[in-house]
Amino acid sequence: MAKIDDYDYEPNNGIAQYSYEVEKIRDHKLQMDALRSNIEFNKRQNKFAVFNLVLCIINVVLLIKQIFFS
């Protein structure tokens, strides 16, 4: 009996091989779902960061205007 990725698996046992493959696919799908979720979260964070950058630029422009033109 060989040990592959913490799953007990006999090379000649088709059911064990099938179970192992199904478990690998489930793990892969969970990882892909987590990645998609992280990507969506990062997109929202990026939009927020761009908004903050725009506000910062506006504040700098207003500060320069106040310093030099008042």
- Give pLDDT tens digits along the chain (70 positions): 455 555 555 556 667 778 888 899 999 999 999 999 999 999 999 999 999 999 999 999 999 999 998 7
- Assess contact for 9 and 18: CB atoms under 8 A: no
Name the residue ranges covered by the structural domains of the chain: 2-68
Give the span between the Cα atoms of 28 and 45, in whole angstroms: 25
Residue 3 in 3-state DSSP?
Answer: strand
* pLDDT for res 1: 46
Give the span between the Cα atoms of 54 and 25, in whole angstroms: 43
pTM of the model: 0.56
Return the structure tokens found at 30: 């969970």
* pLDDT for res 9: 52
The H-or-E segment that residue 42 falls in is: helix 14-68
* pLDDT for res 48: 96
